[in-house]
Structure 1
Amino acid sequence: MRKLSSFIAIAFFSIASGSEAAPSLLPSPTKPDLINNNSGTPGVQSNPTGLIPFLESSFESRLQGERDVRYLSFFLTSEQAQAGGSLRLTYTNAVSVRPEDATLRVSFNGHAGQQFPIRSPQGPGIMDVKAETTALKPGWNTVTLAAQQHHRVDCSIDATYELWTQIDVSNSGFQTAASRAQDPAAALISVGRNADRRTQVRVLTAGDTKAGARHSLDAIQTIALLLGRKDLSVEFTTATKDEPGIDLIVGDVNSSWQSEEGKRLLATAPAGVSIRPSGAGRVQMIIRGAGEQAINAALLQALNGPLKLVLNSRRLPAEMGVLNADQPGTYRLSDLAYRAEPFAGRLFRTSFQTVMPADFYPGDYGAMTLKLNAATAPKLAPGAQLVVRVNEKAVTSHGLIDPNGTILKDKTLDIPLRAFRPGINTVDILAELPKEEDKVCDPAARDESKPRFLLLEETSISVPALARAGRVPDLAAFAGRAYPFSRTETLDLVVSAPSSVQLGAAATLLSRLAVSAGQPLAANLVSDQEARSAIPDRNRLIIATAQGQSLVKSARLAAPSLDGLTTASVFGHGSTVAEPSDPRALLDAFQARTSQDRNEPGISENLIIGFQRTINVVGRWLQYREAESDPAPIRNSEVLATLSQVQSETGNSVVTTVSAATDAELSKAIDYLTDPAAWSKLNGGSATVLRSTGEVISTSAAAYSFYPLADKSFANLRRLAAAWLSDHIALYAFAVVILVSLIGLWLGYIVPRKGVRTVE
């Protein structure tokens, strides 16, 4: 029988429409027990009954700066959408946020929103927002959260980075008025998060734990893909727990790997897949089958039947502000969920995500082109500028100093392709907008009626043709697209010892890679001894402790280092207006509200403006280039674990290794590595997890090798040659010198000796 992961991949992307639904996977309804897990939060009940959690993780649910927007998603069945309900938001905000005018605007699926004050700096506060049934729909629903925040006492631009409101995803979500969901997919998606704000999958095993893990890997990846969450954590345990999460029981009563509790649950479960809500935020998923073939068939039948509801309603990336750069094209900000609105603060910021192909090769052979359509108010102070950042590194800027204000019409800014990496990249457009009156800081006298900046929705970004060649090592491609493990061939998932901790770490990492790839990976779980006799040219993902260091002899780790440019991460998309606004009307209104401040600039002012723009551009370019260097190595005592990637000895496969001293340190390191905040920043050839803080530090690779080319066209080879020469500038300069020398030799030596022919 073919490996199940191949069938699951087909099920995820090409399930035949109109197939008959399989019988319900849910048993008869029983009233779930209420779990009282406050996670140390007084007065807040963790995962109350009927709460449908958000898809997004804690990292994706933080609103920062003077104005920020977040899009959070939850899934409803037809019955739940018709019954309606309310949105529960449990949040905490920074003490620096001024309570008198801090607001949060909440809207559902683009409908008109409701506005609430932000006033909970001392502990968690709760907002309950009623949702009209007309604003809800079956499938994925989007909640738009738009925060407006000001500092209590500081009017500097730097102070805007101190403003934040954090949504507690463990105690937030949609509270449905419908009875408990009878749909198995909806029941699975309603699983809550634990006290660590992680989605916990507990696999019941005992005895032959490795066999249990091998039979469970496909089910674990299926759960990860169905949920779509980036905070999944897997553990192998002998019993269920009275806390949010998914209890996964695989096999039958005679399975050698099954625990006593697992056997009891299997004895009462029907053959195939069944899903049982077992408490607030808890779900049991039981796959009963005698042997791998029966287990795989049951899971595949569920994907083509009851679980098909979620697969058929997968969200479109463009709805959430994601640009897919697989193909060249031009995209307007309005296509990326941005809505224009005049901005009256000091630091404007909007962002979108750009997903680069797994085999994208960064280099200076091209650039993305940003065409700005914007306007600024008169009398901005020196230092006003627009800055474009990619992955928190400044790459280009444009001065905004003009005494009369300025209108930017298709102003072109190039964003170098070298700034991007394979997988998910965050592009920030920032406008620093100081005014002289900010020096006299009086928050109560702030005038929001006069905007300082307007970025129009017709602003666009153009994606050029990209050079395509997978590189090794490249942790950005590994984390962003699970490359090269996302290819069709089987990978060896190797553990140095089949302990429950190492197996849990391996399953956690594999599930996270499946979410990155958007498909299950064909993983063959093997031990150290089995790996020695396995196919040598197969890609390997190794989980090792000090006892298994023989597995990583060929992994020469580069010295870890700190990132030289650290900046606050503030995201935003502007307004929550549902329909795109008229850019001409917005621009006219902006000009009218700021016209009284305009006057004719003098010669000296124009000189200052030109000089300031030049300094800003050069300074930002230098800052970007300097940020790519690696600082000093980290002390060995500070290293909790390492992640490295190398090409195998044969050169035909890739070996990726996570290594720690003990199982306990490995477990802690995997939690740090797979945390969405750290995972999105993996880059280079190796990474180090710091013992004291859990911070993950990436280190550049000393050299790269290329994975076999998929695109061998002349155009791609030409782009690769240009990219390679940009990486080896000394060789490029040497080639230019040689070419010029040859031309000089030809003109100065060969031509004169050939003589001149006279035609009579």
Structure 2
Amino acid sequence: MRKLSSFIAIAFFSIASGSEAAPSLLPSPTKPDLINNNSGTPGVQSNPTGLIPFLESSFESRLQGERDVRYLSFFLTSEQAQAGGSLRLTYTNAVSVRPEDATLRVSFNGHAGQQFPIRSPQGPGIMDVKAETTALKPGWNTVTLAAQQHHRVDCSIDATYELWTQIDVSNSGFQPAASRAQDPAAALMSVGRNAGGRTQVRVLTAGDVKAGARNSLDAIQTIALLLGRKDLSVEFTTATKDEPGIDLIVGDVNSSWQSEEGKRLLATAPAGVSIRPSGAGRLQMIIRGAGEQAINAALLQALNGPLKLVLDSRRLPAEMGVLNADQPGTYRLSDLAYRAEPFAGRLFRTSFQTVMPADFYPGDYGAMTLKLNAATAPKLAPGAQLVVRVNEKAVTSHGLIDPNGTILKDKTLDIPLRAFRPGINTVDILAELPKEEDKVCDPAARDESKPRFLLLEDTSISVPALARAGRVPDLAAFAGRAYPFSRTETLDLVVSAPSSVQLGAAATLLSRLAVSAGQPLAANLVSDQEARSAIPDRNRLIIATAQGQSLVKSARLAAPSLDGLTTASVFGHGSTVAEPSDPRALLDAFQARTSQDRDEPGISENLIIGFQRAINVVGRWLQYREAESDPAPIRNSEVLATLSQVQSETGNSVVTTVSAATDAELSKAIDYLTDPAAWSKLNGGSATVLRSTGEVISTSAAAYSFYPLADKSFANLRRLAAAWLSDHIALYAFAVVMLVSLIGLWLGYIVPRKGVRTVE
């Protein structure tokens, strides 16, 4: 019999037209507990009762620069949309923002909006915006926030980077005028965030915690996908908490993994799924069923019943201003939620996200084509230019200097495919627009009626056919598309010890991957010992601590050095330049200390060294990497945890491992890794989480292996060959030289014999 969890995954793609839910699925009416949690922003009520939070995380709710636009989303049932309500925005802005003319324009679903001043640099400020019922709709609603802000005293372009307004997502959202407390969809979508900006799911377990985790994984992933949030955090605990989040109780009164409080709640709950609001930003989700099959059946019935509105309303990428590059095509900026408006500032910026396929192979075999339709004002100062950045790296530019201004009509700029990576990429279009008058800085005399730049909505970007070949390791594909775990095959979710902390870390990471994949992942939760007898060719996601290092080694992974061993004599006393665990750093230090004993290099050796340096420079240039962009060696004492990915010994699967020294450090590292700001920047072959700052440092892979090709067409093979040669520039140069030499030899042979002779 086919596992019911697979039908849950199918429901997220082709939504079944199931019948109405049975009465047992609906929660019994309960009076919400109106308790205010003031652990959030000082002076602001944390998670006001009934507030529906935004989908977007804190990272996605920051407005920067002189003008910026953010699109925030919230979910309404039909009743809530018809009743209307108000939008609450809790925010803080930079001290450098000039309060006299800083404004925030708020609009709902494209309707005309209202404008408010931005004046809260010393602490949180609150804006309450009334929403007319005509501007609201059932399902997902979009709030457009357009900020205009200027610097108090500095008129330089660099000063624009000091301007920001941050929305506090823990205390912002939509306050509906009316809502039925027993409406499951309304209750689920009103779950609040904690003071740290995370959405917590607390799974009640005791005793056989691993069994409880195994039976809860599908429910946890379903919650993550329904909410759509990228900041979910999972913990296994014995009791509910008086904090924002979801208390998840799974099983029945006889379940071996259930806690005493869980059994008490299950005893009063009907069979199936019950959703009960339990306070401001809190709810209890009870899935009562005897065994995994009954639990998943109840979950599937809920998706086709009281939660069907949420499932049906899941947003498409195009609606959220995201360019999906799976297929070739041309997209206008208007398709990506951009709206043209004259700009009178010094640094114009607009951004959009491009999602590349998980098996995308970056290389110099093609480019995306940006066709600019724009206009500039006269008398821009030298240095005016338009710059295109991909993932915060400049890839192309165009000068905008013209004494009389200029009109760009279908001006073509190529954005090399080398600059992109699998998964989510951020493309920024910036225009630096200095004028001579900026040198005499008088913010009060700024004339906003004279714009400097206009970027039209019919500016387009064309996506070419892409080379497709899945690589390992590739953390960008892992984070952006959950690759290779987004396949239909079951993956082994391995924990080195089935403690509640490790299981919580594993569930947090799995739920984040499910959001990236857009579907629940079929995960088989196993321990270290069980993994040794598991199917060898399965993809594995390993969560390990120092006690589980044997598992890491068996998977051909280099475990992080956690013993603090140092060899200070190589580096000199007190040196922190390199770390003994870094082989390359050891070799460089050794060569530096012994260089005085070597003979002077000869001419041939100098030529080889110079050629290698030139190849390295060209390689960095092709990959948009500066010499100083490589991460500095990291001391063992600074390593909190590592994330790495390798091919298995059989070569038929992939092993991805997160490892730390202790359970406490592992839990902290998972929170750092899954933070939306860090998750979006994962790339390369491995990543290190720093102990002191929580920063995640990605490291490029030394070499790649490839999955079997899904597309074996000649066109794809040609693109792959071109991409591979661009990765191996030395071989490419050698092949060109050899080809030219062979042509020369052939001409030298053939011309004397076949050439035309002069008639005497």
* TM-score (normalised: structure 2): 0.90
Report the secondary structure of 1:553's partner residue.
helix
Residues 755 and 138 (structure 1), Cα distance of their counterparts in 2 relative to 1, 3 Å cut: closer
Shift of 1:4: 3.3
Shift of 1:551: 1.6
1:27 maps to what in 2? Answer: 27
Shift of 1:184: 1.1
- The answer to whether the Cα contact below 8 Å between 2:564 and 2:636 also exists between their aligned partners in 1 is no
> Greater shift after overlay, 180-189 or 290-299?
180-189
Residues 600 and 198 (structure 1), Cα distance of their counterparts in 2 relative to 1, 3 Å cut: same
Report the secondary structure of 1:625's partner residue.
coil
After superposition, give the CA deviation of every residue in 1:336-360 in whole Å (9 maximum; x if it has no partner). 1111010000000001110101111
d(CA) in 2 for partners of 1:19 and 1:99? 55
- The answer to whether the Cα contact below 8 Å between 1:669 and 1:694 also exists between their aligned partners in 2 is yes
Residues 307 and 654 (structure 1), Cα distance of their counterparts in 2 relative to 1, 3 Å cut: same
1:672 partnered with 2:663? no
> Greater shift after overlay, 731-740 or 584-593?
584-593
After superposition, give the CA deviation of every residue in 1:592-635 in whole Å (9 maximum; x if it has no partner). 99999999999999999999999999999799342795243111
> Greater shift after overlay, 567-576 or 442-451?
567-576
Shift of 1:305: 1.6
d(CA) in 1 for partners of 2:703 and 2:469? 15
> Greater shift after overlay, 744-753 or 430-439?
744-753
Residues 277 and 554 (structure 1), Cα distance of their counterparts in 2 relative to 1, 3 Å cut: same
After superposition, give the CA deviation of every residue in 1:468-492 in whole Å (9 maximum; x if it has no partner). 1110000000000000000011100
Report the secondary structure of 2:628's partner residue.
coil
Residues 527 and 594 (structure 1), Cα distance of their counterparts in 2 relative to 1, 3 Å cut: closer
- The answer to whether the Cα contact below 8 Å between 1:68 and 1:572 also exists between their aligned partners in 2 is no
- The answer to whether the Cα contact below 8 Å between 2:201 and 2:234 also exists between their aligned partners in 1 is yes
Shift of 1:21: 3.9
Shift of 1:402: 1.1
d(CA) in 1 for partners of 2:62 and 2:568? 12
Residues 275 and 408 (structure 1), Cα distance of their counterparts in 2 relative to 1, 3 Å cut: same
> Greater shift after overlay, 589-598 or 197-206?
589-598
Residues 118 and 485 (structure 1), Cα distance of their counterparts in 2 relative to 1, 3 Å cut: same
Residues 361 and 89 (structure 1), Cα distance of their counterparts in 2 relative to 1, 3 Å cut: same
d(CA) in 1 for partners of 2:429 and 2:714? 35
- The answer to whether the Cα contact below 8 Å between 2:361 and 2:467 also exists between their aligned partners in 1 is yes
Shift of 1:591: 63
- The answer to whether the Cα contact below 8 Å between 2:369 and 2:414 also exists between their aligned partners in 1 is yes
d(CA) in 1 for partners of 2:29 and 2:477? 44
- The answer to whether the Cα contact below 8 Å between 2:579 and 2:636 also exists between their aligned partners in 1 is no
d(CA) in 1 for partners of 2:147 and 2:616? 30
- The answer to whether the Cα contact below 8 Å between 2:562 and 2:636 also exists between their aligned partners in 1 is no
d(CA) in 2 for partners of 1:586 and 1:344? 53
1:522 maps to what in 2? Answer: 522
Report the secondary structure of 2:264's partner residue.
helix
Shift of 1:37: 1.8
Residues 475 and 438 (structure 1), Cα distance of their counterparts in 2 relative to 1, 3 Å cut: same
- The answer to whether the Cα contact below 8 Å between 1:561 and 1:632 also exists between their aligned partners in 2 is no
d(CA) in 2 for partners of 1:320 and 1:145? 14
After superposition, give the CA deviation of every residue in 1:325-344 in whole Å (9 maximum; x if it has no partner). 00000111111111101000
> Greater shift after overlay, 735-744 or 651-660?
735-744
d(CA) in 2 for partners of 1:573 and 1:329? 59
Residues 496 and 596 (structure 1), Cα distance of their counterparts in 2 relative to 1, 3 Å cut: closer
Shift of 1:183: 2.5
> Greater shift after overlay, 583-592 or 51-60?
583-592
d(CA) in 1 for partners of 2:289 and 2:190? 25
2:541 maps to what in 1? Answer: 541
1:623 partnered with 2:619? no
Shift of 1:316: 2.4
> Greater shift after overlay, 527-536 or 565-574?
565-574
> Greater shift after overlay, 240-249 or 596-605?
596-605
Shift of 1:564: 27
- The answer to whether the Cα contact below 8 Å between 2:27 and 2:273 also exists between their aligned partners in 1 is no
After superposition, give the CA deviation of every residue in 1:225-245 in whole Å (9 maximum; x if it has no partner). 000000000000000000110
After superposition, give the CA deviation of every residue in 1:227-272 in whole Å (9 maximum; x if it has no partner). 0000000000000000110000011111110000000001111111
Residues 696 and 592 (structure 1), Cα distance of their counterparts in 2 relative to 1, 3 Å cut: closer
Shift of 1:50: 1.4
- The answer to whether the Cα contact below 8 Å between 2:570 and 2:590 also exists between their aligned partners in 1 is no
Shift of 1:35: 2.7
- The answer to whether the Cα contact below 8 Å between 1:86 and 1:128 also exists between their aligned partners in 2 is yes
Shift of 1:200: 0.1
1:244 maps to what in 2? Answer: 244
* TM-score (normalised: structure 1): 0.90
After superposition, give the CA deviation of every residue in 1:355-403 in whole Å (9 maximum; x if it has no partner). 1011111000000000001111111111111000001010000111111
d(CA) in 1 for partners of 2:574 and 2:109? 16
d(CA) in 1 for partners of 2:314 and 2:632? 44
Residues 686 and 46 (structure 1), Cα distance of their counterparts in 2 relative to 1, 3 Å cut: same
Unaligned runs of 5+ in 1: none
- The answer to whether the Cα contact below 8 Å between 1:565 and 1:627 also exists between their aligned partners in 2 is no
Unaligned runs of 5+ in 2: none
- 1:483-632 matches, within 5 Å, as 483-553=483-553, 624-626=624-626, 630-632=630-632
Shift of 1:641: 0.4
Residues 423 and 2 (structure 1), Cα distance of their counterparts in 2 relative to 1, 3 Å cut: same
Shift of 1:3: 2.9
Residues 19 and 442 (structure 1), Cα distance of their counterparts in 2 relative to 1, 3 Å cut: same
* Count of matched residue pairs: 760
d(CA) in 2 for partners of 1:441 and 1:499? 61
Report the secondary structure of 2:32's partner residue.
coil
Residues 345 and 631 (structure 1), Cα distance of their counterparts in 2 relative to 1, 3 Å cut: same
Report the secondary structure of 1:569's partner residue.
helix
Residues 630 and 5 (structure 1), Cα distance of their counterparts in 2 relative to 1, 3 Å cut: farther
Shift of 1:6: 1.4
d(CA) in 2 for partners of 1:587 and 1:662? 30
Residues 149 and 451 (structure 1), Cα distance of their counterparts in 2 relative to 1, 3 Å cut: same
Shift of 1:204: 0.3
d(CA) in 1 for partners of 2:545 and 2:85? 49
- The answer to whether the Cα contact below 8 Å between 2:370 and 2:460 also exists between their aligned partners in 1 is yes
1:71 partnered with 2:71? yes
After superposition, give the CA deviation of every residue in 1:425-462 in whole Å (9 maximum; x if it has no partner). 10000000011111111111111111000001111000
Residues 135 and 566 (structure 1), Cα distance of their counterparts in 2 relative to 1, 3 Å cut: farther
- The answer to whether the Cα contact below 8 Å between 2:579 and 2:635 also exists between their aligned partners in 1 is no
- The answer to whether the Cα contact below 8 Å between 1:375 and 1:408 also exists between their aligned partners in 2 is yes
> Greater shift after overlay, 561-570 or 416-425?
561-570
d(CA) in 2 for partners of 1:616 and 1:95? 43
**Which structure ranks higher in relative contact order (CA pairs < 8 Å, sequence separation ≥ 6)?**
1
- The answer to whether the Cα contact below 8 Å between 1:495 and 1:543 also exists between their aligned partners in 2 is yes
After superposition, give the CA deviation of every residue in 1:687-727 in whole Å (9 maximum; x if it has no partner). 00011100001000000000121111111111111111111
> Greater shift after overlay, 71-80 or 619-628?
619-628
d(CA) in 2 for partners of 1:326 and 1:70? 25
d(CA) in 2 for partners of 1:605 and 1:747? 33
Residues 603 and 638 (structure 1), Cα distance of their counterparts in 2 relative to 1, 3 Å cut: closer
d(CA) in 2 for partners of 1:27 and 1:10? 25
d(CA) in 1 for partners of 2:157 and 2:522? 49
d(CA) in 2 for partners of 1:381 and 1:612? 41
1:139 maps to what in 2? Answer: 139
- The answer to whether the Cα contact below 8 Å between 2:202 and 2:247 also exists between their aligned partners in 1 is yes
